[in-house]
């Protein structure tokens, strides 16, 4: 249909009854490419996993980076959602760019034809990609056959939160590709996920890294799963890795007082008492024993109305808008929280008052 484009005013074919091809492409493109593109490629043979199934190598696997690019292209073509006015399309080529600061991405070139227009148009899409290298089941069997270890990642209360999952994934992404090759599968569970590994040493190294970086508690157990040729029992290692309820910034209770977790590093958890400067260092095991989720006897949102050398004046922001004056000596707080005009949370914990920053401002 020929007509006047509502955007540029030119007489041309109107692709959707309103826009000329040029304007149509600028406004609507050829379609949508959902992000991120996730691909799993076997580093040994170049097979890839898509929607839970393994497929044979799409091209000769002598250069694994070429395979990765080709797999991204195939997955992008499968996931591309063309607009209704697009008659045909193909994904022509893909550039895969590693960017450790903003995340890896790909430039995907899509070529397509619009209904009623003779020529082809070419557009570039920039999409986030997640490439994982993981042994396929066949290479996994060749590599040694049996599952040697299972590493179960869970949260303290049984379930892994989204935030905890992300922090675990960050730790896993920092592992060297050589170590990641030993992860033969990732099995999603309702309470978290399991890493299936072909090597017990690697499993222990990963568990110890999660303990060191996130304060996870690790429990080892073995199960006899068969006999070796020489008759010795063959044992599978299970590592239960539980993430603590706290992370950096969490408010915790220790021996009746409130503390803030200020760091987790090298297997130690660092906590600072609210209103004090001294930082205590606890081993992960000790932190699990001593730190608890605090429960408050009272809790209310307040506005800091005035601060004098001897007292703090607060205006409650909850029903009644009560005015509260607390002698400084009787309340604990982080100095940056108690500034006139700022909102904060006043809590009573174990008989003591604390003025805490709003949860979103920590
Ligand atoms: Zn136009
Ligand atoms: Zn393979």
Structural domain boundaries in the chain:
34-133, 146-243, 251-292, 298-361
Cβ contact 240:219 at 8 Å = yes
Average confidence (pLDDT) over 320-346? 91
Token output for 343: 């909102």
Ligand nearest to the CA of 46: 2
Q: Which ligand sits nearest to residue 184's alpha carbon?
A: 2
Indicate the pTM of the whole model. Answer: 0.61
Q: Which ligand has an atom closest to residue 26 CA?
A: 1
Q: For the domain with range 298-361, which CATH number is right: 2.40.50.140, 3.20.20.70, 3.50.40.10, 3.40.50.1980?
A: 2.40.50.140
Task: Name the closest ligand to CA 15.
Answer: 1
Give the span between the Cα atoms of 271 and 246, in whole angstroms. Answer: 11
| Ligand nearest, relative to CA of residue 135 | 2
> 30 alpha carbon to ligand 1 midpoint, in Å?
15
Q: Cα of 58 to ligand 2 centre, how many Å?
A: 12
Reduce the DSSP state of residue 171 to 3 states and report it: helix
Looking at all shown ligands, the one closest to residue 18's CA atom is 1
- Gyration radius of the chain's alpha carbons: 29
Cα(76) to centroid(ligand 1), Å: 29
**Residue bearing tokens 């396929």:** 136
pLDDT at 114 over 60: yes
Ligand at minimal distance from the CA of 24 is 1
pLDDT at residue 307, rounded to an integer: 93
Ligand 2 centroid to Cα of residue 228, in Å, is 25
Confidence tier at 182 by pLDDT (50, 70, 90)? confident
Ligand nearest to the CA of 56: 2
Distances (CA, A) of 342 to 74, 173, 179: 54, 39, 48
Which ligand neighbours the alpha carbon of 67 most closely? 2
pLDDT tens for each residue of 19-57: 999 999 999 999 999 999 999 998 889 999 887 788 999
Residue 137, pLDDT > 90, answer: no
Please tell me whether residue 189 adopts helix, strand or coil conformation. Answer: strand
What integer is the mean pLDDT of 169-192?
84
The pLDDT value given to residue 100:
82
What mean pLDDT do residues 84-102 have?
Answer: 92
Q: What is the mean pLDDT of residues 238-263?
A: 95
Average model confidence (pLDDT) across the chain: 91
How far is Cα 170 from Cα 185, in angstroms, rounded to an integer?
Answer: 17
Summarize the confidence of residues 149-154 as an average pLDDT: 95
Q: Using CA atoms, how far apart are residues 93 and 225, in angstroms rounded to an integer?
A: 47
Q: How far apart are CA 123 and CA 103, in angstroms?
A: 22
Q: What is the pLDDT of residues 153-162, one digit of tens each?
A: 999 877 898 8
CA distances from 313 to 99, 266, 288, 361, 362 (A): 50, 41, 37, 21, 22
Task: Compute, in angstroms, the gap from residue 152 CA to the centroid of ligand 2.
Answer: 24
Determine the Cα–Cα distance for residues 350 and 133; give it in Å rounded to an integer.
51
Q: What is the pLDDT of residue 188?
A: 86
Instruction: State the DSSP H helix or E strand holding residue 282, giving kind and residue range, or none if neither.
Output: strand 279-283
Q: Find the 13 Cα to ligand 2 centroid distance in Å.
A: 50
* Ligand 2 centroid distance, CA of 138 (Å): 6
* pLDDT value of position 145: 61
Question: How far apart are alpha carbons 56 and 49 in whole angstroms?
Answer: 9
| Centroid of ligand 1 to alpha carbon of 20 (angstroms) | 4
- Confidence label for 230 from pLDDT (cuts 50, 70 and 90): confident
Indicate which ligand has the atom closest to the C-alpha of 6: 1
Is residue 18 very low, low, confident or very high in pLDDT (cuts 50, 70, 90)? very high
Q: How far is CA 298 from the centre of its chain?
A: 34
Q: How many residues does the chain have?
A: 362
> What CA–CA distance (Å, rounded) separates 307 from 326?
10
pLDDT, position 144: 65
CA distance 316 to 347: 12
Q: Which of 66-75, 177-186, 352-361 has the lowest mean pLDDT?
A: 177-186
- CA 91 / ligand 2 centre spacing (Å): 25
Mean pLDDT of 78-107: 93
pLDDT for res 283: 96
Q: What is the pLDDT of residue 143?
A: 67
Q: What is the pLDDT of residue 362?
A: 57
Percentage of the chain lying above the pLDDT 70 cut: 98
CA atoms within 13 A on the CB side of 20: 12
- The rounded Å distance from CA 91 to ligand 1 centre is 25
- What are the structure tokens assigned to 196, written together? 């299936």
């Amino acid at each position: 249909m020929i007509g006047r484009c509502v955007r540029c005013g030119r007489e041309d074919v109107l692709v959707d009854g309103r826009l000329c091809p040029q304007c149509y492409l600028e406004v609507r493109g050829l379609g949508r490419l959902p992000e991120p593109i996730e691909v799993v490629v076997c580093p040994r043979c170049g097979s890839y996993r898509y929607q839970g199934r393994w497929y044979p190598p799409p091209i000769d696997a002598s250069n694994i980076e070429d395979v990765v690019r080709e797999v991204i292209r195939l997955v992008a073509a499968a996931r591309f959602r063309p607009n209704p006015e697009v008659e045909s399309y193909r994904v022509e080529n893909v550039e895969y760019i590693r960017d450790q600061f903003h995340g890896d991405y790909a430039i995907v070139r899509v070529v397509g034809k619009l209904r009623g227009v003779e020529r082809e148009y070419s557009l570039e899409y920039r999409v986030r990609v997640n490439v994982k290298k993981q042994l396929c089941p066949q290479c996994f069997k060749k590599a040694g056959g049996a599952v040697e270890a299972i590493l179960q990642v869970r949260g303290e209360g049984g379930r892994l939160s989204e935030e905890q999952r992300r922090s675990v994934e960050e730790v896993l992404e920092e592992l060297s590709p050589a170590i990641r090759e030993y992860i033969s599968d990732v099995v999603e569970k309702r309470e978290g996920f399991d890493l299936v590994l072909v090597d017990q040493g690697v499993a222990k190294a990963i568990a110890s890294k999660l303990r060191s970086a996130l304060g996870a508690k690790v429990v080892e157990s073995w199960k006899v799963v068969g006999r070796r040729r020489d008759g010795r029992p063959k044992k599978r290692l299970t590592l239960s890795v539980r993430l603590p309820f706290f992370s950096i910034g969490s408010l915790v209770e220790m021996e009746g007082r409130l503390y803030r977790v200020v760091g987790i590093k090298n297997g130690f958890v660092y906590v600072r008492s609210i209103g004090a400067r001294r930082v205590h260092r606890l081993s992960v095991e000790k932190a699990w024993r001593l730190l608890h989720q605090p429960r408050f006897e009272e809790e209310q949102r307040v506005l800091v109305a005035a601060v004098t050398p001897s007292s703090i004046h607060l205006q409650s922001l909850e029903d009644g808008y009560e005015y509260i004056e607390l002698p400084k000596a009787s309340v604990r707080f982080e100095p940056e929280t108690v500034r006139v005009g700022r909102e904060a949370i006043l809590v009573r914990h174990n008989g003591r008052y604390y003025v805490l920053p709003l949860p979103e401002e920590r």
